[in-house]
Every structure is written in structure tokens, then in C-alpha cells.
Homo-oligomer: A and B are copies of this chain.
Amino acid sequence: MIVEVIAVGTELLFGQIINTNTATIGAALAERGLDAHFQQTVGDNLERIASSISTALDRADAVILTGGIGPTQDDITREAVCAATGLPMVFNDEYAERLREWWAGRGKTMPKSNLRQAYHPEGAELMMNPRGTAPGLAISHGGKLIFCVPGVPAEMEFLLANDVIPRLVAASGEEKVIVSRLIRTWGRSESDVAETLDDLFEGANPSIAFLASASEIKVRITAKADSTVEALTLIEPVETEVRSRLGNTVFGIDDETIERVLLRLLSDLGYTIGTAESMTGGLVAARLTDLPGSSAVVRGGLVAYTNELKQRLLGVEDISSVVDAATAVEMATGAQSLLDVDVAVAVTGSAGPDPLEKPPGTVVIAVATPEDARAKELRYSGDRERIRAYGTTAALQLARLALIGSWWKH
């Protein structure tokens, strides 16, 4: 069953609010094995909303409209459904009475405009919405289903979970489930990952896709099956194969960020961590302290932006050049002493736009553990913000690799 979501609201078109509803609905559809080919966003214009509905009815089995069913003049989704389907608008006395009671129960007189919510296309079933006064609508028309739900996320989510999805699953006549597993990697380029997994693309179920965000490459394995267990059984051998090919560039799955993985690793090893940062100016420490409970392993960090601080507080001996492995290692071992930590990560480099000893994009990272200290020079392209962000991620990733005894080889 193919479902198309239409988000209604001029404020969405002009980015005044970010549309999270379509993502929420999309995830709920995927979870129940319902398919989606398109989504639309349309402004508060009768003719254009109606045209969006007609387009969606032509190519999908069901349409979910979110937004435009409130009490104000620019809430015209109900009218647009009538225009697109030819259904007449009817007034629901029973619901009007209910609205009056709702307001009376709050000791208020209902604003007249609220009666708009008692109108609906003929034949619509009302879906009760305890989080607001606009009822959702479920309409069956010409063999297709049309749902209208509010744009307010909490109200939409309630009706989605309690009414829309159950009705769609029942109508679809199939109980297929879609399960995805995200394999998170760092240290290879997107195209390198793609080539390494090239032949695995052939399978349709599970299917494989890529997501690149910042310097991280995610591989998504998606399976469709009769049950979650069966879907996971389909995913498992593919996941094993992907992991074996990508080796220890895989650092986590699903919602495991590198911060989370690194903190757990440190906690398992009984180690504390600290930082010594020049180029990244505090970003590594900030990422490490991002998670609740990080204070169990993160002691602190020094931002040694000037060479004088590198020398005086971290014990860097030769400050005639500071974008090199020797300085990074001295910063890391210096931080171990200064902060009294087991593991220290140090970052120095040239973030640009002007070169600092080496071309902008040069990042030197050192990790000192109780066993040893090593440094690695990397090169990134882009502007200052990107170079600092990529350098920060690299510092966290290299700390992980140092701790699992597998210093990055690429």
C-alpha cells in the first residue's frame, strides 16, 4: 500500500518552521511496511491544496494531509478535500454540540469561528483528538483513503498512532514490517565504502543504501518481512558481511554516536579522559561532555590557543613549530599530567583561512594512553568551520582506535 503525505501550510514553504511531521509519519509508515513514493508541501491556497490531493490520489492508495484543519480562516484543508473529491460539505450538529460543551467545560464561550471544525466532507468519520479541538477526518473515496490530521505535532502524533496507522494497516491487508539497521563508519570515503560493498547492492531485500553526514558514512540495511524477527534474520548475514568488509572503520550501529561509543569504551576500561586543544578550541571537550553522565570519565580539558600556554601548562618544549606530530604528542602527554587523566587527546592544526605553518585543513591529532602516545596528520578541505568539525570527529574516532589497539591505517 502506497501512502502519500501532504503537509499544508505557507509557513512550511518559507521555512518559518521546520516540517518534522512528514518525517514522523514516514517513520511510522516504514515501521509497518507501508510504502511511500512522494511527499508534498503546499501553502494555504484552496486550489493548490486541491491539486496536491488530486495528484496524490492518482498515484497513491492513501493520502494523509497534515495541517489546515484548525478554526481560522486560513485553515482550508476540509474545503480542499471537497474540491478535489467532489464531496459536498456537511455540518455535524453532534460535533458542534461537543465543541460547545468543550468550551463551556472551561468556563468560556466558544469563539464562533470554532464552528468551522464541525464541518466536514460528507461521509467522513471523525477521529477524536484529546489533545486539541480539531477532530481528525477519515474519508473513503473511490477506493482510496484520505486522512486529515492537525499540523500541531503532538495532536498529529496521537491520531497517527491511534487511528491512521491502524486503519491503513487494516486496509492494506498485509502485515509486512520494515526494519532498518544503520552501520556507522568513519575513516573511509563514501565512494570507497560504496566500492567495497558494490556487489551487495544487488539484493532487493534486504536493500542497502548510504547516508553521508559530516565525515561519517552510514550504511543502511533495510529488510521487509512478516515480522520484526524475520526482518532481523534477513538483515543479520548482510550486516555480518558489511562489518567484515569494513573492519574497524565500523564504530557503532543505529543511534550510537562516536561520543557514546568512546565514553562506554573508557568506562569499560576504567579510564578517565582529558583534552588538549589548539585548533578545535574546545570542541572536542564539548562533544565529550555532551552526554549525561559524562562526568564519570571526562575530567576536563585545556584549550591552549597560544603557544605560551602550550609551553607553560602542557610542557611543549619547542614552540618554533606547533603543527606537527611532536607537538601533538607533547600536548597529549602534557594533558595527562596537568589534568591527571589516563587518556588524553590533543589537536593542533591549521583551520584557515590563512595558513598556520602548514596549509589550512592540516589537522594533527595525538592520543596518549597509559601504554603509549601516537600522532597522526590528516588533511581536510573546506572552510574553517568544516575543518574544525571534521578535526573534532577525527580526534574522537582516533581515541577509540587507539583504545581498541587499532590505530587508524588509512
Contact = CB atoms under 8 A, between A and B. Distances in A.
Given A194-B111, A281-B290, A286-B286, A72 B210 contact: yes
Contacts of A17: 23, 211, 213
Contact of A26 (B12, B338, B388): B12
A25 interface: yes
Nearest to A108: B189
Contacts of A282: 275, 277, 281-286, 289, 301, 303
Interface stretch (A32-40, A79-87, A226-234, A365-373): A32-40
A113 interface: yes
A300 interface: yes
B309 A305 contact: no
Interface in A210-246: 210-213, 220
Interface in A250-294: 275, 277, 280-286, 288-290, 292, 294
Nearest to A286: B282
Interface in A350-397: 351-354, 379, 381-386, 388
A19 B18 CA distance: 8
A30 interface: yes
Contact of A194 (B14, B72, B190, B338): B72
- Looking at A18, A212, A300, A354, the one whose CB has the most chain B CB atoms below 10 A away is A300
Interface of A is mostly: mixed
A92 interface: no
A209 B300 contact: no
A9 to B, nearest CB: 8
A189 B111 contact: yes
A11 B212 CA distance: 11
Interface stretch (A43-51, A119-127, A167-175): A43-51
Contact of A290 (B40, B382, B385): B385
A333 interface: no
Given A26-B13, A220-B11, A381-B130, A40 B39 contact: yes
A248 interface: no
Contacts of A298: 281, 305
Interface string A180-223: 10100000011110110000010000000111110000001000
Interface of A: 10-20, 22-30, 36-45, 48, 52, 55, 70-74, 102, 106, 108, 110-114, 130-132, 152, 154, 178, 180, 182, 189-192, 194-195, 201, 209-213, 220, 275, 277, 280-286, 288-290, 292, 294-295, 298-306, 308-309, 313, 338-340, 351-354, 379, 381-386, 388
4 closest cross-chain pairs (CB), A and B: A281-B289, A282-B282, A282-B285, A15-B27
